[in-house]
């Protein structure tokens, strides 16, 4: 099954946010043509380690050696090389855009517009184009020109201020949350715009901002109420909602959620702690939240006496929401995720067998059929002949001349 079969995307993307959006569109069956700088490509191509011969190597030895980061971020896309600052390269891009449904880019704001390849120029040759720009702070506003990477966005958005221990410094989320969540908003906005195009025949421009994304997610929580009532925003592994949080068994950690009176009663039974139900400090959600430290200490004093297995057995047998806190290595070796396809072998388009490493899969299962198997990430310019001959009608002599002139 390929839900986006027939959709063609022209992608001018680098690093993580743009490529992750492009890769997910490819996962759904779109043909994604990734335009890269001749001889250079995405800067991530140069970030080691490099995959080769079943292992990892610090330095590339040949054109088949691809960065493991690039392999993870460019599954399923096709690579062409094109110098967009060259007049001939610019015209080739415009000609490619005529046969595409989507242009996707995440360069610094205005980069493509300044060389005559912005939405206005593309929409003149293809009025139905959906043109999506992903950036740190957005295309407008006082912050739009600021250099932006995920750590700065986490800081500017306020996310770091609510992450970390109460008595510690603001803390970055441990993965590139802005770079990975923002492209998901971009993906479904692109699909919505394509649906609108089906109805009206008109394309549109999508301005997708990492900072807007993180701010919108943060204020799904009642932060303004916490600020108004002087409640701490940075609580580490302790939840603001009563004694929900992290607890330490004598050989591991348990993540525990207790928000309702029913869950509190089940917890009391699981831990053989009838005193939890007799203590007026813990009789309701409000009182447990007011006396959260006392509630936490009461829970910890009991869980700390158990092994992790014992604690989990007790909690799970009473349907208390809980989970063992696991390492990334434990998750990577859990067959559950391989069976469901959320983890996949890491593939390289130039090699028949997977290389060492783990790739992320698509975390949704469709009842209508399996999504297509993803091709491995391409070597630089791997699809020049296929794309330029199919869409622009160029033959081998044309391509040789363009390559000699540095256009491709």
Q: Is residue 348 part of a domain?
A: yes
For the stretch 170-215, pLDDT in tens is 999 999 999 999 999 999 999 999 999 999 999 999 999 999 999 9
Cα separation values, 59 from 11, 48, 68, Å:
27, 7, 12
Contact 54, 356 (CB under 8 A): yes
Q: Is residue 88 part of a domain?
A: yes
Q: What is the DSSP string of 54-91?
A: TEEESS--STT-EEHHHHHH-TT-EEEE--TTSHHHHH
- 13 vs 374: which has the higher pLDDT: 13
Q: Is residue 97 part of a domain?
A: yes
Structure tokens at 102: 């989507």
Q: What is the mean pLDDT of residues 364-379?
A: 92
- Res. 240: pLDDT tops 80: no
Cα separation values, 171 from 51, 146, 175, 214, Å:
32, 22, 12, 15
| Averaged confidence pLDDT in the chain | 94
Supply the pTM of this predicted model. 0.92
Segments forming the whole domain that contains residue 355: 8-217+336-404
Q: What are the contacts of 47-52 at 24+ separation with CB within 8 A?
A: 51/346, 51/348, 51/355, 51/356, 51/357, 52/355
* E-strand stretches of 269-366: 322-324, 343-346, 355-360
- So what's the pLDDT on residue 52? 74
Answer with the one of 299, 324, 349 that is the final residue of a domain: 324
Torsion angles phi and psi, residue 197, rounded to 5: -65, -35
Residue indicated by tokens 């002087």:
230
CA distance 211 to 219: 12
CA distance 42 to 65: 14
Q: Which of 138-152, 221-235, 278-292 is predicted least confidently?
A: 221-235
- So what's the pLDDT on residue 16? 97
- Res. 384: pLDDT tops 90: yes
Q: Is residue 122 part of a domain?
A: yes
Q: What is the mean pLDDT of residues 119-123?
A: 98
Residue indicated by tokens 């997708």:
208
pLDDT band at 126 (very low <50, low <70, confident <90, very high): very high
- So what's the pLDDT on residue 242? 82
CA distance 195 to 190: 9
Q: Which of 31-35, 64-68, 359-363 is predicted least confidently?
A: 64-68
- For residues 303 and 369, state if they share a domain: no
- Res. 67: pLDDT tops 80: yes
Cα torsion 383, 388, 393, 394: sign: negative
- For residues 37 and 175, state if they share a domain: yes
Q: Is residue 364 part of a domain?
A: yes
Q: How many CB atoms lie within 10 A of CB 112?
A: 22
- Res. 148: pLDDT tops 80: yes
Cross-strand partners of 133? 105, 207
- For residues 208 and 109, state if they share a domain: yes
Query: Could you tell me the CATH number of the domain that includes residue 269?
Result: 3.30.1540.10
- For residues 280 and 384, state if they share a domain: no
- Res. 222: pLDDT tops 80: no
- Res. 62: pLDDT tops 90: no
- Res. 343: pLDDT tops 80: yes
Structure tokens at 249: 């068994």
For the stretch 278-329, pLDDT in tens is 999 999 999 998 899 999 999 999 999 999 999 999 999 999 999 999 999 9
Active-site hit among 150, 179, 313, 405: 179
pLDDT band at 59 (very low <50, low <70, confident <90, very high): confident
- For residues 275 and 390, state if they share a domain: no
Total number of domains in the chain:
2
pLDDT > 90: what percent of the chain? 85
**394 Cβ contact partners less than 8 Å away, ≥ 6 residues apart:** 388, 402
Helices 210-218/177-200 angle, 10° precision? 100
- Res. 276: pLDDT tops 80: yes
- So what's the pLDDT on residue 255? 96
For the stretch 344-371, pLDDT in tens is 999 999 888 899 999 999 999 999 999 9
Active site includes 179? Answer: yes
- Res. 227: pLDDT tops 90: no
Report the half-sphere exposure of 304 (CA within 13 A, side-chain side).
Answer: 6
Answer with the one of 304, 324, 344 that is the final residue of a domain: 324
- Res. 390: pLDDT tops 80: yes
For the stretch 251-273, pLDDT in tens is 999 999 999 999 999 999 999 99
- For residues 284 and 377, state if they share a domain: no
């Amino acid at each position: 099954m390929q839900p986006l079969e027939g959709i063609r995307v022209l992608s001018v993307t680098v690093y993580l946010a743009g490529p992750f959006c492009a890769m997910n569109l490819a996962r759904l069956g779109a043909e994604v043509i990734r335009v890269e700088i001749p001889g250079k490509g995405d800067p991530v191509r140069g970030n080691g380690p490099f995959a080769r011969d079943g292992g990892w190597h610090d330095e590339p030895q040949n054109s088949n050696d691809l960065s493991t980061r690039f392999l993870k971020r460019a599954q399923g896309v096709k690579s062409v090389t094109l110098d967009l600052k060259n007049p001939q390269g610019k015209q080739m891009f415009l000609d490619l855009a005529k046969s595409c449904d989507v242009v996707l880019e995440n360069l610094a704001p205005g980069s493509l517009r300044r060389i005559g390849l912005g939405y206005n120029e593309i929409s003149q040759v293809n009025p139905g184009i959906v043109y999506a720009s992903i950036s740190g702070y957005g295309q407008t506003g006082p912050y739009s020109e600021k250099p932006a990477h995920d750590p700065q966005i986490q800081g500017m958005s306020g996310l770091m201020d609510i992450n970390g221990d109460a008595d510690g410094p603001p803390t970055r989320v441990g993965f590139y949350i802005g770079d990975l969540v923002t492209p998901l908003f971009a993906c479904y906005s692109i699909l919505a715009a394509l649906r609108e195009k089906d109805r009206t025949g008109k394309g549109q421009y999508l301005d997708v901002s990492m900072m807007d994304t993180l701010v919108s997610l943060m204020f799904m929580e009642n932060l303004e109420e916490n600020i108004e009532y002087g409640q701490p925003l940075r609580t580490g592994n302790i939840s603001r909602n009563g004694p929900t949080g992290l607890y330490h068994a004598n050989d591991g950690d348990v993540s525990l959620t207790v928000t309702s009176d029913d869950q509190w009663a089940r917890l009391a039974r699981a831990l053989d702690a009838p005193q939890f139900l007799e203590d007026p400090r813990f009789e309701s959600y409000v009182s447990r939240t007011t006396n959260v430290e006392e509630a936490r200490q009461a829970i910890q004093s009991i869980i700390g006496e158990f092994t992790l297995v014992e604690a989990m057995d007790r909690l799970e047998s009473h349907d208390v929401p809980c989970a063992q806190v696991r390492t990334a290595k434990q998750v990577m070796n859990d067959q559950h995720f391989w069976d469901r396809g959320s983890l996949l072998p890491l593939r390289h388009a130039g090699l028949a067998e997977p290389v060492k490493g783990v790739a992320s899969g698509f975390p949704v299962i469709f009842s209508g059929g399996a999504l297509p198997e993803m091709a491995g990430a391409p070597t630089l310019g791997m699809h020049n002949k296929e794309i330029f001959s199919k869409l622009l009608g160029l033959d081998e002599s044309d391509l040789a001349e363009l390559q000699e002139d540095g256009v491709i």
